[in-house]
Every structure is written in structure tokens, then in C-alpha cells.
Structure 1
Amino acid sequence: MALPAGFLDELRARTPLAGVIGRRVRLARSGRNWKGCCPFHGEKTPSFYVYDDHFHCFGCGAHGDAISFVMQSQGTSFPEAVEQLAGEAGMDVPKPSPGAAEAERRRLDLHGVLEAASQAFQRRLRLPEGARALDYLRGRGLAEQTIQRFGLGWSGEGRGALAADLAREGIAPAMLIEAGLMKPPEDGRPAYDLFFNRVMFPIRDRRGRTISFGGRILGDGQPKYVNGPETALFSKRRTLFALDLAREAARAGGAVVAVEGYMDVIALHQAGFAGAVAPLGTALTEEQLEELWRLSPMPVLCFDGDAAGGRAAARAAELALPLLTAERSLKLATLPSAEDPDTLVRRQGPAAFQAVLDAARPLAEALFGLLREGAGDATPEQRAALRTRLEAAAGQIRDKSLASEYRRALMERFYARRPAPARRGGAPGQPKPPPAFHRPALGVGNAAAERARNLVAILLNHPALLHDVEEAFGTIDLPPGLAALRDAILHWGDAAQALDSAALMTHLSETGLAADAAQALSAVPYPLPACAAPEAMPAEAEAGWWHIFGLMHRGRLEEEVAAAMRDMAEHADEATQRRLIALCTARNALRQGEQGMESEP
């Protein structure tokens, strides 16, 4: 017995074709697609192309989808190929049964019912009763060709119109209910039309088959838009409006852009942006993102320029982060205030929307701004909260190598926004104000302050450690004077070509912080640990810094060790190895209770 077409469609949608073929063929990017040497005939020049849903060899003519590739390349039968791919996709292959056969027959029948309904709606649009709807569409700037291409129609003004139309074709109300076109009878009342007094928008699957409808009411009624219910053919969270048309544009090299509504999509297509799609009245879902990535490795999500648009962009970024890979990401575009794509292209023309697309920012760049808007960065507390959010965002990315790159990029932007320290001191000849901090006698309550001073002192004498410890250095609580030194050190480190102690001290002197630096390095009243001495070896200084940091933040030290181990597993270079050794040395010293690396009361 043949497998249900719906199951096979779902299996193909869940199977990344380039990934399946890439196991046996060395593929290289070719625009939005992939190419390689055909595995079915010997060739030296690649003529084998892989698209989002099929492959084709221009040399030998081999053609097919993921299932046929497995069959041809591995010599398996159709059921065996389906079993293999279904197992990889986490799907269960339906078991043959009379019930399943009947369900598939009815499913195929539903396509016919929905197509008949689409034709009926389009006919009504051209009747006198549809004049108001046709005027509405033309008033929105739609050309006749656009109305026909999208199959726009009119539901009729009274209930029962569709059932009466389709009864002539032998379609019973029960099938209309199953297709999501009528509501089932309730409380003794007969079934009735779901759509009436509405402009109709056919919703199609990626193959161009009608699977449901959306309807916009004319007048002031609510809700303004209604989508059909979930059916055997239609799943709202898996469907994008105009996906079938966008596939054609994507293959031709057009930009794939997700906007908000039906009319936005239609207006953009008419203006030449044929890669436009839209979710169906809800926030973007994971399944819809996967569909976008099947069209393009870098689709554009377009949002309104108001606060709601910012929140929607933040939600989309949060949804996308765990799904990102080195091969697929997003761009975020923001519309001018008080504009949507429909009004923008009607008022200002296609060039205005093209400018929006040209200004779209890669997710890695836009993410910092989205998170900063939610947390702020004007106060130390806000900066600490922002840093936590940035690290949490990078941590959501499952691809560890990519997560590491995002974390690095976000932290670079975080530290780049650190305000430059103000010059201390008055005009020449005037006495400088006293240093901003005074070290009290070290007691139990002041141990944390002395440890903080030691961390600063190590970096004053060994600034070459700065890039390895700057993220942790930025999180510790410091007295005002030490905090001013930290800001100056980090600001200098961002621009310095060489991390040299003498150059750092010169910079601190020029910014009026020489006295603060001298006090941080003072041996009175408590001597600094050996690892802070200028003559300490770099490995000793780094291990000592992490040891003292661990005394202040033991849990964070364990996180740094874990992160360094992951980095070592991914790229075992000398710098990564050195950092891991220093962190493990510090952690082991803490576990053994050693106290020789710092001065304690």
C-alpha cells in the first residue's frame, strides 16, 4: 500500500537534502544552492546541483528528492529509504491499515474541495455582489494580474452561499466541515459557513496546492482577519503565506523576506519583491523558520519601527538562536516609523523598501542592540544585567563553535561601549584631588576589597593577561577608585597595539590615575602576592589571577574552566591550552585549600 502523501511531504520537509547528499558528495556553495561532482556518473567538472527540495545532474540527467537519492546511491528499496530517512527525522512510518487508506483518500479529496472553493470565491468576486470587494482590492493598489496570481476572491455576504455553490458539484457539507470551510452543527443548529462578507486569500502549500483560506472582513466587524482551522491539510505553525511563489523567487536569486500580513506580502510581490512571505497572524514559529532557511541561508525578518516591532524582533531572535549554524542565520530589517511594507511601497515606491532591505543587519550585529534596549547600560547595575543577558543569549546557540563566536562578538561590543574614563585632577598648578579610595586595615570584612586590589595589581604589572580575563574582570564589584582603574585599563586594552605595562602606566598617568595605580601596587600596609610582582612568570601571574578571582567567585571560576575545556576540544591552539592550564591550576589550588598565592589576614 502507498504511504500517505501527507507523511511523505512532511518527511521531505524535515529532511535537509544537502545534508543527506553531502554524506556521499563533496558539495560546495553555488549561490543559494550547492553543487558537486555527480555520484552517478564519472565526471571531473561539477554538473550536479542540489536545491532546497530536489537534485539535478545536468550531465547525466539524474533527478529526484531525498528519498530517490537514497534509493539510487545506496541501492535500497522505496520502503527502506523511507524507513531510514524517517528514523533520522524522528518520524514513525504509518502502518498500512484500511483506516489509513481511507484517511488518505479523504485527504486527497480535501484538495479537490478546497480548489473548488477557491474557484467559487474567485467567481463571486466578479459578480455584482463582489463589486465592493473588488473595489477594495483595487483601492489598495492591486493590479488585475496580481489579483489573479494570488487567487483573491469574495466569500459572499450571506451564510450558506458556499455550500449552495458546491452542492452543484456534489460536495456535501460534511466535506466542507472537514476542509475547514464550515463550522459543524451545534446546539441543534445546522452547519454554517466560516467565511462570509470577507475578501478571501487562498493559503497554499509549498507545491502551490490550496490548503486553507484567510478572510478579511469588509467594514468595521471583528475579527478583521480570520484563518481557517487546523485540518488534515493545514497547520498554521508550519505554513507561510505565499511560500509557493517565494520559492520561485529564491531560486532566481531574490531576497527572502518575512513580513507581517497578507496585504504586505501581496504589495511587495507586485512591487518586485517576490520572495516575500508572512506567518498567518501569529508570531514566527520554529517550523516557519525552518521553511525560510529551506529557501535561503540568510532570510530577512522585517519589523515595524515601533516598540511592538522591537519586541517582535527580540522574540524572533530568541527563537532563532538555538537553531543557528555556520550555514544559516538571519538579518533583521526595521521599517520607518508608522509605515508597513504595503504603505511604504505605495507611497514611496519599491526603492524605499529596497533601502530597508539594504539596511538590514545580521543577527549577530542586531542582537546586542535588542538586548541593550531591554536592559540599558547607563549604571553599573544595568551593565551587569546586560552582560548576563548577552552571555545567556550566546549560550542558547547549540552550535558550540558559533556560540563562542557570538559570545566574543557580543562582549567586544559590550566593552566597546564602556565610557572612556574622565581625566582626574584640576588645571596645571592646582593640587589634584585625593585618590578615590583608601585602603583600610585589612580585616575579615575587608578581605574582598584586598583581593580586588590584588587582581588590579596583577593586571597593572601583567597587562598581557587582559584579553584572557577581561570578561571576568568586568564582573567583579570594586571600590570607586579601583573601578575607575578598571575602566581605564579595559578602555586602554581595547585600543592598545601592544599590552605593555609601561605603556599602560603612561596611559593611566595621562588620565590622572597615576596615584590610584601607585596605591594599588603599594606594599603598605599589606604586601602583594608573588604572582603580582613584575618579575613573576606569565603563567604564574595568570594562575594567580584566576585563583584570587576564584576566592571571590568560585562558581564563576568553574564556569570559566568548563568553557575553556569546550574551547580546547574545538580548537586546541597554544593560547587556549595556556588559558586552560592557568584555570585548572587555580581551581586545583582552591580545592586543595592552598593560601600561598595571596596575602590573607
Structure 2
Amino acid sequence: MPGVTDQIKEKIDIVDFISAYVPLRKTGRSYVGFCPFHPNTRTPAFHVFPDTQSFHCFGCKASGTIFDFLMRREGIEFREALERLAQRAGVQLHPRTEAEEQQDRLRTRLLEVNAAAAAFFRHMLVKSQRGEEARAYVAKRRIDDATGEAFLIGYAPDDWSLLLSYLTERRGFAPEEIEAAGLAIHHETRGYYDRFRHRLMFPIRSASGEIVAFGGRALGDVQPKYMNSPQTPLFDKGKVLYGLDLARDAIRQSDAAVIVEGYVDVIIAHQYGFRNVVAPLGTALTADHVALVKKLSHRVYLALDADTAGARATLKGLQALQSQPEGELTAVISPQGVIALQRRQDVEIRILALPEGKDPDEVIQENPEQWRAALAAARPAMDFYIETLTSDLDLSSGRGRAEAVERIAPLLTQIANPVEQAHYIQQLARLIDIEEAHILAALSNKARQEGQRRPSDQGRATKVLEQQPGDANQQPDETPPPPTQEEYLLSWIIRYPTARAAVEEKLHRDLATYPALQSLMSGTIDELFTSDECRALWRAWIAAPTGSDPQAWATTLYAPLDAVAQRVLELHAPQPQAYRIVNDALECATILQRDAAKRWLVQIARMQTAATGEAEQEILLDQLVQVKQFINMLSIPRRSSAYADLHVLHMP
């Protein structure tokens, strides 16, 4: 019986589905249109293939199935895409447990509380006499009525129980529900009272537009000046970006996201037509934030204050980042301007420097062209780092030069592209006037130090491999399907960072000498998976916090990913020596590379039958030749005792 994802794909035609988002025209056996994931208006590069129920953009290389399209287009996770498509297809997902049903009911109820509270706050700002001071503040910040309505800006009156009374007496919510939504506080003797009082209120919405929390700006001398809702079943401030629901399409269309500090910065930017602007909620930009943006664009602009206080905060933040487990850095920006790079997220980060003492909303309102110029002049993050982290050093002294290398080296080691890394090594060498060899030696020493501090991957591997597949949930007469190559590969690259690094390097190296294939294949692990579940599981692992234990992480997943993860992590492989781990992972990767290339052979042949122009035929012929060369280059992997069955089944 086909799995649930296969059932969904059988019932929903990908051409019909994508046509609701992208105008398509038929050409031969495929359909073409302008890609919705990157700016393109001249030549349609986006193809939908009904035969394989897949899509591919020859410009940005976005590709996949109907699940991948919906996740990328709407900026949602696999679970939500699965639920939406299952509902549309009329496919029944696994029976929900009572706990899941109860959680859904609570979530729905809290969303209703927040929606009612937002309406109350909006009424108090727009129509109540109590909102006069708040209206004056909004006018002072030059927020117009249409923008205020779009962002549902409101006012919480200076009263201890006015919202509580409205929600309980007029809307029928229980005080416990209002507290669970983060809008009320319970005191042992005084009972329940309103959390937000005499504050301008900014509803905080999820990427899909649901009101999950509130931010309040004090209208007097009350501290703190800004206050957010506490963490609730709906809200985790490290996973929400303010304004993303309204900015999502603009970020995708411009292929860029601009991250600023405050609510009003976002609001004014949108009011003036800069709709790709969002903000973290008074916290550092987390890996979850970056993951949200990365679904829409790989370019991120950070708007920082160009003052000495910002530079000092950066230095302080870097010290904290260097103490993180596994010796790896994460991409963060604090409200004070602390940032760093994270290789995992693969996001191009640029620093947008503002005039000293000016906030983004002030720059935009004074002269929108100045904001455009600042975006155009934004510098790569490493340029910012090298300048900022060396600004307080005496670079004419040996001590100052050594300190400069010590500060910059951890960042240089995080640059995955060797050409880019070499560029910044040269830049630093020129700045401090030393030979590049000395910097390379420092990087090598830093890498050895980090390796010594890391726990042994082999120890963790041995523990995992000792576990055998269980059958507690298996019916006595039910034979589980044999593991696939994709599941074997997942097993290695999730368990062992060394295997993952080796596979990533191999994929990049193998594709580098075939330029005609680079519009077809991205050279990433992601494209090796044909199973939607395996691909979603891999993406979930990439998004997991650095240093996560695979077994513990698997327990946080949802169906059907939890079952796939359990099956993958329980795969038994003998002789877990380090060289075998890497070699077997590379064998699996090679098999999957060959399979992916063979799929393109078929697809190119189909496209040739529909091609009319001589130039198009020439391009397709070049691609066809190189695909065949690529397959020939991927020689049959040597026999492995752990994977003997794979080679028998996949001989050419």
C-alpha cells in the first residue's frame, strides 16, 4: 500500500496545483512559466513535469515535488504542508491521539483569545477617549491610518482589569485561558489582572497571519519600555519575526530580507513601500529565525547602528558565541547589533550601516532614497567583522596583530567556500601586514584545538550501533520493508558529522567540472532524496540546534517523520570504524548521484522532443552529453559488506 505522501501525490496533479500560483503554458510534455522563487521576467525558467509530478527551475535550481513547492511558496514546514495537502486530497492521516486533539483545542482557543484582545486594543486606540495619548504618539511617529490598520496597532488602557473584564464578561473566556494566552497575570492574593497597561500594542503574527502574541510600548516612564507576551503554547519569541506575514511575498520577489530592530522600523518601512523588512522580538536572531527567512531568500541585510557602542557589543557577543558547544558559531543579531555567521544556514549576510544616531524609520521618512542607497552599499558580514574587531587594536605592534588574528580566526574557519576564505585571509594579511602563511597556521592550530575539545563522534557512533531495531510497534505477521539507499545515507550523515562533511565535499567536487549540469543539479545532499519523508527529515536535522543528540531529537518529531527517523537511527551496520563510516556513506551517495543523473537523462530526452529553437536544442544536447559523462565518472562503488544488497540491485 502506498504511503500517505504517495497517496496525496496520486490524487493532486502538480500542474493543476502549481497553476493556481504560477501561470503555465504547455511546451511538449512539460509546462513552463516564470519562477515564483526568484526574480525573473524575461525567459521562463520554471518547468513543471507532469510525467514525474515534479518541478525544476533552471535559474535558481529550486526543485522537488508538490510538497516542496508548497513549503517553499508558503514558507511552512513539512508537517503543515502534509496536513494541507492531505485535506485537499481527502487522504486520512494517522488517527490523532487524545493529547494531540487536546493540544489543538487549546491552540484554537488561545488564538480566539488573542483575536478578541486585538480587536479590543484596536477599538481603544481608534475610538475610545482613553486612547488619546496613544493616538498622539502614533501621529508623532507618522504612522498613517491604513498602515495602522494593516498592522492592527492598538492601545491597552491604563487599567488593571479592563481587558480581563471584556474577555470574561463580554466574550466568555475563562481567566485561566486569558492567562494561558499571556494577557493576564495571576496573583495569589489579588487574583487575575491585565498584563499590558497604558501601552501602545503591536499584535505579533505568525508567518501565516495568526495573532500569537503582543508587544507593548510604554507611553510613560514605565519600565520596561518594550514588553512582549511571555512564552505560551502559541508563542516562542525565538521562532517568530515581526511583520513576516506581510513581508513574505516581498522577500521572495526581491530575493532579499532586511532585518531591523523595532516594531516601528518595520511599520514605517512597509508604509513607504519597503515591504521586505522584518524584526526579531527584542532577542538575538536565532537559527529558527534564519530558517524562516531562508525559505524565502538566501540574502539577508542587517540594519545596524553605526556607532562605537554597537562595535563594543559585537566584540562582547563574539566572546559569548565562541564558547558555544561544538565550537561552532550561529548567525545572530541582537538589538545592540551583535552578529556572527553560521555556515549551516548558508545565508548571504550583508551589513547595512545607518547614519550615526538614526533609526531605520527616521532614515526612511527623511529620505527614502537614502535607505535605498544604504541597501546598495551594504557590506558582506566578514568585511564588517574585520573592520570592527580590529578597530581598537594597535596593528603596528606584534601583540595587536596577534590579537587581530585570534579574534578573526574563528570566523574565517566558518567560511565554507575556499575561494571566499582565501579572499578574506588575503584581506586580513594586508590589513595587519603579515604573511598569509602565519594566518593559515593560526587557522590550522585553531581547528586542532576545537577538535580536541569536541566529544568523540566515534563514542557516540558505537552507542548508536549497539542498538538493534525494535519490534514493539510491529504486528507479528507484518514484515517491514527493507531499508532504502536514502535511509542508509540518512543514517550515516545524521549520526556522524565526518560522514556528512565527506559527502557534501564529494557532491560539490563531482559537479564542479560539469558546468552544463549546474543548472540541473545543485550538488547538495537534499537533491539525492526522492522520498518526501527522507528529504523533510534531512531538512529537519539541518534545522536542529548544533550538537543535538540524534536519538533525543527524533523524539521531538511528528508523524510520519518520527517513524522514518526511528527506522533510520536503528539501522545496524557492523564494524563502525571511522574509515568505514565515511566510505559507506560515500558509497550510498554515489548510488544516489547516479540515480539522480539517470532521472535527468529521461527528462532531457523528453524536453528535446518539445524543443523548437536551435539554441535550445544545443543547450539540451550539451546537458545530455555531460549527464552521460557524469554517470560514467561515477564508477560502480566498491563492494561493501554492509551494503552488498545495494550493489546487486543497482548495477547498470
Q: Out of 119-128 and 163-172, give the one that drifted further.
A: 163-172
Change (3 A) 1:221 1:175: same
Distance 1:392 1:55, change over 3 A: closer
Aligned to 1:340: 359
Change over 3 Å in CA distance of 1:294–1:312 after alignment to 2: farther
> SS of 2:382's equivalent?
helix
Q: AA paired with 2:330?
A: L
Residue from 421, 424, 433 that aligns with 1:407? 421
Report what 2:398 is aligned to. Answer: 380
CA distance in 2, matches of 1:472, 1:419: 11
CA positional deviation for 1:124: 0.9
Task: After TM superposition, give the deviation of residue 45 of structure 1 in Å.
Answer: 10
CA contact (8 A) 1:391 1:407 kept: no
Cα displacement string for residues 300-348 of structure 1 (whole angstroms, at most 9, x for unaligned residues): 01101112323455648953266336952211111111111122223x2
- Cα distance change of structure 1 residues 264 and 51 upon mapping to structure 2, 3 Å threshold: farther
Any idea what SS the aligned residue of 1:319 has?
A: coil
Counting matched residue pairs gives 396
Identify which of structures 1 and 2 has the higher relative contact order when contacts are C-alpha pairs closer than 8 Å and 6+ apart. Answer: 2
1:245 aligns with 2:246: yes
- Distance apart, 1:102 and its partner CA: 1.6
Q: In structure 1, what is the Cα distance between the partners aligned to 2:171 and 2:342? A: 46
Q: CA RMSD in A?
A: 4.5
Amino acid corresponding to residue 38 of structure 1 in structure 2: V
Instruction: State whether structure 2 residue 396 is matched by structure 1 residue 363.
Output: no
When residues 394 and 470 of structure 1 are mapped into structure 2, their CA distance, relative to the original with a 3 A threshold, is closer
After TM superposition, the score normalised by the length of structure 1 is: 0.57
Aligned-partner Cα distance in 2 for 1:333–1:554: 32
The aligned amino acid for 2:180 is E
Equivalence for 1:472: 438
Determine whether 1:276 maps to 2:272. Answer: no
Q: Please report how far the alpha carbon of residue 372 of structure 1 lies from its aligned counterpart in structure 2 after TM superposition.
A: 2.0
Q: Distance in 1 between matches of 2:373 and 2:199?
A: 34
Aligned match of 1:331: 350
Match of 2:199 in 1: 198
SS in 2 for 1:417: helix
| Alpha-carbon separation, structure 2, partners of 1:102 and 1:556 | 50
Q: Which amino acid aligns with 1:109?
A: R
Compute the displacement of 1:360 (Å): 0.6
Distance of 1:358 and 1:293 partners within structure 2:
20
Q: CA deviation at 1:98?
A: 2.4
1:356 Cα offset (Å): 1.5
Q: In structure 2, do the counterparts of structure 1 residues 354 and 554 end up closer, same or farther at CA, with 3 Å as the change threshold?
A: closer
Distance 1:395 1:405 in 2: 13
How far does residue 234 in structure 1 lie from its aligned partner after superposition?
0.4
Deviation at residue 361 of structure 1 after TM alignment = 0.6
Q: Tell me, in whole angstroms, the C-alpha distance in 2 between the residues paired with 1:381 and 1:312.
A: 22
Q: What letter corresponds to residue 118 of structure 1 in structure 2?
A: A
Matches within 5 A, 1:412-427: 412-418=426-432
C-alpha displacement at 1:189, in angstroms? 1.4
Q: Distance in 1 between matches of 2:172 and 2:355?
A: 51
2:48 to 26, 32, 38: 38
Counterpart CA distance in 2 for 1:303 and 1:131 is 33
Say if 1:283 and 1:312, in contact at 8 Å, map to a contact too: no
**Corresponding residue number in structure 2 for 1:188:** 189
- Alignment partners' CA distance in 2, 1:131 and 1:568: 62
Check the 8 A contact 1:155/1:198 in 2, yes or no. Answer: yes
Q: Partners in 1 of 2:287 and 2:55 — Cα distance?
A: 38
Letter matched to residue 179 of structure 1: A
Counterpart in 1 of 2:124?
A: 124
What code does the residue aligned with 1:258 have? Answer: I
For residues 104-138 of structure 1, what are the alpha-carbon distances to aligned partners after superposition, in whole Å with 9 as ceiling and x for unaligned?
A: 20111111110011001101112111121111101
259-268 or 290-299: which moved more? 290-299
In the TM superposition, 1:6-155 aligns within 5 A as 31=38, 36-41=46-51, 66=78, 96-125=96-125, 126-155=127-156
Query: Does the 8 Å contact 2:131/2:157 carry over to 1?
Result: yes
Distance in 2 between the 1:287 and 1:216 partners? 25
Conserved 8 A contact 1:29-1:35: no
Map Cα deviations across residues 439-464 of structure 1 (whole Å, 9 max, x no partner): xxxxxxxxxxxxxxxxxxxxxxxxxx
- Matches of 2:54 and 2:229 in 1, distance apart? 51
| Alignment CA distance shift 1:102-1:376 (3 Å) | farther
- Alpha-carbon distance in structure 2 between the residues aligned to 1:240 and 1:32: 23
Partners of 2:299 and 2:362 lie apart in 1 by 25
Partner Cα distance (1:391, 1:78) in 2: 53
Partners in 2 of 1:292 and 1:568 — Cα distance?
25
Cα distance in 2, alignment partners of residues 273 and 313 from structure 1: 27
Cα–Cα, structure 1 residues 144 and 38, in superposed 2: closer, same or farther, change >3 Å? Answer: same
CA distance in 1, matches of 2:343, 2:363: 31
Determine the C-alpha separation between the residues in 1 that align with 2:421 and 2:427.
Answer: 10
Instruction: Check whether the contact 1:272–1:350 (CA below 8 A) recurs between aligned residues.
Output: no
Q: Distance in 1 between matches of 2:425 and 2:91?
A: 50
Mapped partners of 1:252, 1:240: distance in 2? 18
CA shift for structure 1 position 557: 12
Q: Which moved more, 1:284-293 or 1:320-329?
A: 320-329
The answer (yes or no) to whether the contact 1:204–1:211 under 8 Å persists in 2 is yes
Q: Deviations over 1:207-246 (max 9, x none)?
A: 0110010111112111111100000000011111111111
Residue 175 (structure 2) aligned to one of 170, 173, 176: 173
Match of 2:372 among 315, 336, 354: 354
**Alpha-carbon displacement from aligned partner over 1:410-433 (angstroms, at most 9, x marks no partner):** 21102222559xxxxxxxxxxxxx
Secondary structure at 2:373 match in 1? helix
Contact 1:254–1:274 (CA<8 Å) still a contact in 2? no
Asked if structure 2 preserves the Cα contact closer than 8 Å seen for 1:390 and 1:410, the reply is no
CA pair 218-416 structure 1, distance change in 2 beyond 3 A: same
Deviates more, 1:207-216 or 1:354-363: 354-363
Structure 1 residues 230, 290: CA separation in 2 closer, same or farther (over 3 Å shift)?
same
The runs of 4+ residues in structure 1 deviating greater than 4 Å are: 27-30, 32-36, 42-57, 63-73, 76-80, 311-318, 473-476, 553-559, 565-572
Which sections of structure 1, spanning at least 5 residues, go unmatched? 1-26, 58-62, 83-94, 421-468, 477-552, 573-601
User: Do the aligned residues in 2 keep the contact of 1:255 with 1:273 (CA within 8 Å)?
Assistant: no
1:205, distance to aligned residue in structure 2 (A): 0.2
Residue in 2 aligned with 1:423?
Answer: none
Does the aligned pair in 2 maintain the 1:364–1:406 contact within 8 Å? no
Asked whether the 8 Å contact 2:111–2:211 carries over to 1, the reply is yes
Distance 1:474 1:143 in 2: 55
Task: Call closer, same or farther: CA 1:255–1:175 in 2, change over 3 Å.
Answer: same
Per the alignment, residue 225 of structure 2 pairs with 224
Distance 1:129 1:558 in 2: 64
Q: Which amino acid aligns with 2:240?
A: T
